[in-house]
Structure 1
Amino acid sequence: MTARPSSRNSSDPDVPKRPADTEPRHEQPAPAAPRPRAGGSHGVRAAHPLADGDRERLLSGAHHDPHGLLGAHSVRGGLELRVLRPYARAVTVLSKGLRAELHEDGDGFFSGVLPLRTAPEYQLLVAYGSDGDVDETVADSESEAEAEGTHEIEVQDPYRFLPSLGELDLHLIGEGRHEELWNALGAQPMAHQGVTGTRFTVWAPNARGVRVAGDFNYWDGTGYPMRSLGSTGVWELFLPGVSEGALYKFDITRPDGSHTMRADPMARRTEVPPANASIVTESHHVWHDEEWMAHRGDVPVHESPFSVYEVHLASWRPGLTYRQLAVQLPAYVKDLGFTHVELMPVAEHPFGGSWGYQVTGFYAPTSRMGTPDDFRFLVDALHRAGIGVLVDWVPAHFPKDDWALAEFDGRSLYEHEDPARAAHPDWGTLEFDYGRKEVRNFLVANATYWCEEFHIDGLRVDAVASMLYLDYSREHGEWTPNEHGGRENLDAVAFLQEMNATVYRRCPGVITVAEESTAWDGVTRATHHVGPGGFGGLGFGLKWNMGWMHDSLGYVSHEPVHRKFHHNEMTFSMVYAYSENYVLPISHDEVVHGKQALVSKMPGDWWQQRANHRAYLGFMWAHPGKQLLFMGQEFAQGAEWSEGHGPDWWLLDPSYSAEADHRGVRHLVGDLNAVYGATPALWQRDTEPEGFAWVDGDAAEDNVFAFLRYDASGTPLLAISHFSPVVRHEYRLGVPDSVQAWTEVLNTDAARYGGSDVLNPDPLKPESVPSHGRRASIQLTLPPLATLWLRPA
């Protein structure tokens, strides 16, 4: 995990009519003050006036039960109907056989008592000034009329509808156990009581009131207060006629009476940054990956080939949309032979320079490249090409932007109430309060959301170490021990266990991967298996092997003459190789911020750098564990990655690059993946000690590492990596005497890859000459700075 730039903050004024970063679709003149109007139509009696407290709370957005005052209610002598329509000149009630104009009560209130016993299905005919001062809420019927200086629009009354969220949903939300939270909270287009519209719901337990503001009401939520649904902290309002594509935010009245305009934490679509309004959306994508989904979990990932190409979508081919990427990315990855892609975070984020690791829209794919359905189209295309899709998921922290999650309803809500535990010490962000059941539910449901709604095959969980330790990046006195006196964050442990258990239960075939850089015991152990430390396993499927990455990159960065003094940096990984289920990552974190691209870490001239690069990749693909390689490293890009322009694709242009230069390295990666996928010895027993045996792990003077890999049937593959720039002839290695002859199936020094073409073209037959503790041995030629793979002929 590397330190990431802080996200860009924006500051909305309190309760703006139009937030500066969220302009309505059409500019309109400023609303005019309502004109006094005489009493209502014949037969409509004046209603009892609202109590001053209720009136003030409704107008200030601080009422918890607007439906109790607005809409239709039975009273003695008839049906009392009250409407809040700011800037309206008149409001008339329309129903079958009924047309009744309400009395104007000032401040946008209209009311009257109709001579009815029960409330009929009715609409409101709202008249505004002809200068365009109109509430633009779209209704079932958009009949408009011009009459004597007024503009009329027929709308449904939102306050005639019963709650649109069920008791079971509220119970599960209250328990923190709603596993499909995205279907309960947020903006949900739906039909309710026979009328189409959108249900708005939001969790804001500290708010004095919440209103919906959007481009459908000129960003003035005065006439759209939401109701509080019991003790859950959930607010709800069904708005008839509001449909897909509408922009909205929540106007929240804080405990101190001030206002804040917030994007929806559960928004499933957002505006393109830096604009930040939420967008009402629903999916229309028809999936075509049935075969992939049915069989992706047939073989456990630990016993399968798993070779990952890590991608930053926005910069892989800058300027491409999701749908354009769906044409190019699957073809490129399939040609290289990777089994999976891993996408750096695709959840919405305000600052592109954070690479997606500072998330504000946890339920929304970034709109920079298209809509949520466009992203589904990309995943679908990858699946149909036989490529699995992992996404980086970031539950460790979130940015402080004042239109997003930070102090969402005026108090600490998603972040911990203790400021010392809320502030992330490294990234200028806030940490989630994993001990709060609703926050834990928000995150656990989010994990399943990506897997279920977007058919994601795996979640790589970012910055797990920063979640697990209370003292992470904190000095003595800056943290408080847990209840047992330890430094473990027990709430985070429980959250990760719940997340993994839920994902594996609900989403067969999905894999979770931890970026965890410490020696925490049991990261990939089942949650119900208690380890020596007294904790159950965290339940991940795989863990990034940060130790292997650090040590091996350290080794190859030394000049060959000095490598013998660092030999153990390449062998130490086998001491703990089976303590977890590992991925070997050469990720984006290793090729930015002055760390140099992979090939540029290597010593020597350009030929030696590329030779080292190729030999290292051959060693990596043969080492126990799964593989991950960041984009650009597959063709030995010499420059560090930049999200501004992405990989240097021009290096592959034949007019620039000889076949054996950058294109040669790409050929090698394709062949590594092809041989890897066809050789079960390289992946079938990655997590079993019996699948590996050293031939020679002590050849420090020669800079040689030789080992055997075995598949489930005992068939071996011999891997030899030679990190010296010399040719070694007649180099003897002990081998199993059960093999009659060995054939070279991969040699990173081949001319096709840009090497010197020192090969072993003929089968190598073992001799009855003991070596390395074995009764038989072979003699072969070791090319300079190269890795060889041999298998039984």
Structure 2
Amino acid sequence: MTSKKPAARNKTANKTANKTANKAGNKAGNESGRTEAEKRTRESSQTRESSQTPEGRRTRVAQVPAQPAPPGLEVAVSPAVDAADRERLLHGTHHDPHSVLGAHPVPGGVAFRAFRPHAEAVSVVSGDLRAELHDDGDGFFSGLLPLAAVPAYRLLVTYDGTDHETEDAYRFLPTLGELDLHLIGEGRHEQLWRALGAHVTTRQGVTGTRFAVWAPNARGVRVTGGFNFWDGSGSPMRSLGSTGVWELFVPGIGEGELYKFEITRPDGSHTRRADPLARRTEVPPATSSVVHASHHEWGDAEWLAARGSTPVHAAPFSVYEVHLPSWRPGLTYRTLAEQLPAYVSEMGFTHVELMPVAEHPFGGSWGYQVTGFYAPTARLGTPDDFKYLVDRLHQAGIGVLMDWVPAHFPRDEWALAEFDGRPLYEHQDPLRAAHPDWGTLEFDFGRREVRNFLVANAVYWCEEFHIDGLRVDAVASMLYLDYSREPGGWTPNEHGGRENLDAVAFLQEMNATVYRRCPGVVTIAEESTAWDGVTRPTHHKGPSGFGGLGFGLKWNMGWMHDSLQYMSHDPVHRRYHHGEMTFSMVYAYSENYVLPVSHDEVVHGKRSLVSKMPGDWWQQRANHRAYLAWMWAHPGKKLLFMGQEFAQGAEWSEAHGPDWWLLDPSYGAEADHRGVRDLVRDMNVRYRATPALWQRDTDPSGFQWITGDAADDNVFAFLRLDADGTPLLAVSHLAPVVRHDYRLGVPDDVPAWLEVLNTDAAAYGGGDVTNPDAVKPEPQGAHGRPASIRLTLPPLATVWLRPA
């Protein structure tokens, strides 16, 4: 703020302070005991004071140099910053600026020191006292006041002839407690975001922002931002012991301020870095961190209380995968909150899975190259806006999963790479640090502080944003030291194996911590190999000797690859690939699986789901519908990427998103695309209402083949059973002909079967070859069962039947 001149009633107090200060100097000795430099400083100060008019001058507090004291007389010390501290502060290498700057009791009174680059003058203001500090050059100001104790005070700083009254950041004690520092040092701070980063807070009645960052290799750290015109030299941070944490409370700084950390590397060079724990960022391509305080009031208490009532592996779980920036381009978190819950509810999905929302500089990475692990991308709004979206989804009864990317991070020079001048978040060994596929860096999972950063990040999204599940990206790349590496390009572990033991320990710790702290949350692994025990509890060891990784679910990449491979063949050749559809049941209960048809399968030349199918356009859509109904009936949870629910023909592009115009009635797409969408909607409704399709997904007794070897007919038939034994019969016929009176063995305790879903129905764009009447079993045995039914099998279709 701009200050006025001292009131007349304060002049007496100011003169008294000046007189007392000079008297203290006389007591300390005489001019003959001073060095020539000290004499010149004193004379300069006196000359400046005498040149000012008595009415308008500030009280000048002269420096009092240290010198030998007469017996029994205390020495008054010079308040100026000494040469060594001065150099360290100027070069950004001071580890404890609070020990030098601010106010400190010294012999003879209280020494005040300020470092205000570009300031013309600095005064101390305390009650009626206003004392101008001596200009020591290079932005340093100092003075000695004959006070018995450090008073409550403010600084009056003059820039370009204008006075600004402000608090002194260097009069405040550290804001991080011993427990925080101990937990950080041990790598066990499960709410790390509450300790590090930028936090608006109040200290001693003063509101400001506390900044804290982990940079153990730094020679010094300064805060820079819009509040100091991006010149951090006047805002050095202090190092808090051996933890490598640097901290500074800056009074008067609040929400919305831009900032970075200016780090002095071990070699003396400087780098500006975004805050690794920033909870808000600028909109890319801008890279600054933003001070944030949340004001969102949650309305999803009912959802949170109920979400853990049924274990996820025994509950319906049908997921719509969404890339938020392109789902309907141009929408923000707030406008998405008005449209996405309504659409997902109408379509009957139980959950949405959001591709990574953490901040990332390059939109073309779809969020998989993260720089701001604690910040939702600013492209769509603020963190509170994102909370609003999650809240609205929960209030609509929809769970929210989020892709989480702890495997790697990009090399941007303003982010995590060699953060404090040396490898910090990445591995020290270049062979371990560089990811060979993506040009990124891998985290050093063996460093406790790095594990803490990631484990706390997983907890952060669940606790602060009420996320219901984390789908962990690229787990296989973490688990294997030789992942995508040639011989000689990797170093075996201590046992001579290729397993990354540090990554195993990290994933176990992450899962155990999330499940302990966040009831009802599920973690899901995208793991593309046959690693043993991905969804086994961490305390249960398998044949490999490792404990389980502790995930709740795992993407079944084998099922996805094999089944799509089968569907890509012309039906006349499918008999030779029959096992690609049945092999998944050999290992279906080795893990708790999700069946994913994700974004990865509809980009980069892989074509959309419907375009993978053979035949003409009618046959492609028929195959598409039949495949989805096969998938929904197969054991395992479901995931479908946006656009595939209405048979979009083009590959997905993050630039324009799904081709929603295909659903416009004026386009004439009633049978082509709206029919497929209606099938997915009806299938989800039937799925959620049929416990046989989800209740025993991880229990082998919940599945029975009717026929898995009808390769010549391209037929697959099986039963799904709920906990009470109530069955659902699913039959997929993947040949382009109609088969009449096709006999299938069935249990003899069901009096009749009723068709409840047929992907060839006219409403879905099919030929309407159906079984409209109840089908009664006959006493003729088939497929090893005492009874059988005769069905009409439509071409390229899947039908579901339940007991009538």
TM-score > 0.5 by shorter chain: yes
Please state if 1:195 is matched with 2:206. yes
Distance 1:399 1:41 in 2: 55
Structure 2 partner of 1:318: 329
Q: Which structure 2 segments of 5+ residues have no match?
A: 1-43, 50-57, 65-77
Match of 1:99 among 126, 130, 134: 130
Question: Normalized per residue, which structure has more helix?
Answer: 2
Q: Matched residues in 2 for 1:117 and 1:287: separation?
A: 51
2:241 maps to 1:221: no
The 1-side partners of 2:683 and 2:566 are apart by 22
For the pair 1:505 / 2:516, whether they are aligned, the reply is yes
The reply on whether 1:736 has 2:747 as its aligned counterpart is yes
Q: CA offsets, 1:502-525, max 9 Å, x none?
A: 000000000000000000000000
1:56 counterpart = 2:118: no
The match for 2:540 among 529, 533, 558 is 529
Assess if the C-alpha contact under 8 Å between 2:60 and 2:134 holds in 1: no
Does structure 2 retain, via aligned residues, the 8 Å contact 1:461–1:515? yes
State the partner residue of 1:87: 118
Per-residue deviation, residues 639-666 of structure 1 (Å, max 9, x unmatched):
0000000000000000113321100000
CA shift, 1:232, in A, is: 0.2
Give CA-to-partner distance per residue, 1:389-417, whole Å, 9 cap, x none. Answer: 00000000000000000000000000000
Match for 1:601 among 595, 612, 615? 612
1:613 aligns with one of 615, 624, 629: 624
CA 1:725–1:355: 2 relative to 1, 3 Å: same
Residue 41 in structure 1 maps to residue 59 in structure 2: yes
Instruction: State the alpha-carbon separation in 1 of the partners of residues 210 and 365 from structure 2.
Output: 33
Structure 1, unmatched stretches of 5+, are: 1-34, 130-149
Q: State how 1:240-639 maps to structure 2 within 5 Å.
A: 240-639=251-650
Take 1:205 and 1:224, find their aligned partners in 2: how far apart are those partners? Answer: 18
Q: Give per-residue Cα distances to partners, 1:645-694, cap 9 Å, x unaligned.
A: 00000000001133211000000000110000000000000000000000
Task: Determine the C-alpha separation between the residues in 2 that align with 1:513 and 1:128.
Answer: 56
**1:438-457 Cα deviation digits (max 9, x unpaired):** 00000000000000000000
Query: Would the aligned equivalents of 2:318 and 2:639 in 1 still touch at CA under 8 Å?
Result: yes
- Give, in whole Å, the separation in 2 of the partners of 1:683 and 1:255: 57
Q: Distance between the aligned counterparts of 2:212 and 2:339, measured in 1?
A: 39
Q: 1:428-476, CA deviations, whole angstroms, 9 ceiling, x for partnerless residues? A: 0000000000000000000000000000000000000000000000011
Per the alignment, residue 102 of structure 2 pairs with 71
Post-superposition shift, 1:128?
1.1
Instruction: Output one character per residue of 1:688-738: Cα deviation in whole Å (capped at 9) or x when no partner.
Output: 000000000000000000000000000000000000010000000000001
Partner in structure 2 of residue 775 of structure 1: 786
- 1:670 and 1:737 mapped to 2: Cα distance? 32
Q: Could you tell me whether the CA contact under 8 Å between 1:38 and 1:104 is conserved in 2? A: no
d(CA) in 1 for partners of 2:297 and 2:62?
52
TM-score (normalizing by structure 1)? 0.93
Tell me the distance in 1 between the aligned counterparts of 2:352 and 2:489: 39
Q: Distance in 2 between matches of 1:545 and 1:374?
A: 33
The match for 2:149 among 118, 121, 129 is 118
SS at structure 1 position matched to 2:495: coil
Alpha-carbon displacement from aligned partner over 1:203-247 (angstroms, at most 9, x marks no partner):
000000000000000000010000000000000000000000000
Instruction: Give runs of aligned pairs for residues 14-25 of structure 1, distance below 5 A.
Output: none
Paired residue secondary structure (1:378): helix
**What is the SS of the residue equivalent to 1:216?**
helix
Kept in 2, the 8 Å contact 1:501–1:539? The answer is yes
Secondary structure in structure 1 of the residue aligned to 2:543: coil
1:731-770 paired onto structure 2 within 5 Å: 731-770=742-781
Q: Secondary structure at the match of 1:94?
A: strand
1:16-52 CA deviation, whole Å, 9 max, x = no partner? xxxxxxxxxxxxxxxxxxx999367255544343332
Q: Secondary structure at the match of 2:596?
A: strand
- Paired residue secondary structure (2:408): coil
- Runs in 1 of length 4+ with deviation above 2 angstroms? 35-51
Q: Which residue matches 1:127?
A: 158
In the alignment, the residues of structure 2 paired with residue 350 and residue 45 of structure 1 have an alpha-carbon distance, to the nearest angstrom, of: 51
Q: Cα deviation per residue 1:490-541 (whole Å; 9 max; x = unaligned)?
A: 0000000000000000000000000000000000000000000000000000
Q: Which moved more, 1:42-51 or 1:739-748?
A: 42-51
The answer to whether the aligner puts 1:204 opposite 2:222 as a matched pair is no
Contact 2:109 2:144 in 1 (8 A): yes
Deviations, residues 143-195 of structure 1 (Å, cap 9, x unaligned): xxxxxxx1011000000000011111000000000000000000010011221
Aligned counterparts of 1:156 and 1:510: Cα–Cα separation in 2:
44
> What CA distance in whole angstroms lies between the structure 1 residues aligned with 2:63 and 2:83?
20
- Taking structure 2 as the reference length, the TM-score comes to 0.91
Q: Matched residue of 1:655: which SS?
A: helix
Match of 1:132 in 2: none
Q: Are the aligned partners of 1:45 and 1:114 in contact in 2 as well (CA < 8 Å)?
A: no
Paired residues of 2:63 and 2:79 also in contact (CA < 8 A): no
The reply to whether residue 157 of structure 1 matches residue 188 of structure 2 is: no
Give yes or no for contact 1:590–1:597 (8 Å, CA) kept in 2.
Answer: yes
**What is the deviation of 1:201?**
0.2
Amino acid in structure 1 at the alignment position of 2:309:
D
Tell me, in whole angstroms, the C-alpha distance in 2 between the residues paired with 1:474 and 1:209: 37
Q: 1:661·1:754 contact (CA, 8 Å) conserved in 2?
A: yes
- Report the count of equivalent residues: 739
**Which residue identity lines up with residue 311 of structure 2 in the other structure?**
P
Q: Indicate if the aligned counterparts of 2:759 and 2:797 stay in contact, CA closer than 8 A.
A: yes
Q: Residues of 1 paired with 2:360 and 2:727: CA distance?
A: 47
User: Partner residue of 1:679?
Assistant: 690
Pick aligned residue for 1:696 from 681, 703, 707: 707
Alignment RMSD (CA, Å): 1.0
1:460 is paired with a residue whose SS is strand
Which of 1 and 2 has greater Rg? Answer: 2
1:664–1:752 Cα contact (<8 Å) kept: yes
Contact residue 44 and residue 115 of structure 1 kept, 8 A: no
Q: Percent identical across equivalent pairs?
A: 78
How many angstroms does 1:753 deviate by?
0.2
- Kindly state the Cα deviation for residue 117 of structure 1 after the two structures are TM-superposed: 1.6
- Give the aligned residue type for 2:677: R
Task: Please say if residues 61 and 143 of structure 2, whose CA atoms lie closer than 8 Å, have aligned partners that are also in contact.
Answer: no
Tell me by how many angstroms 1:103 deviates: 0.4
Structure-1 separation of matches of 2:550 and 2:79:
61
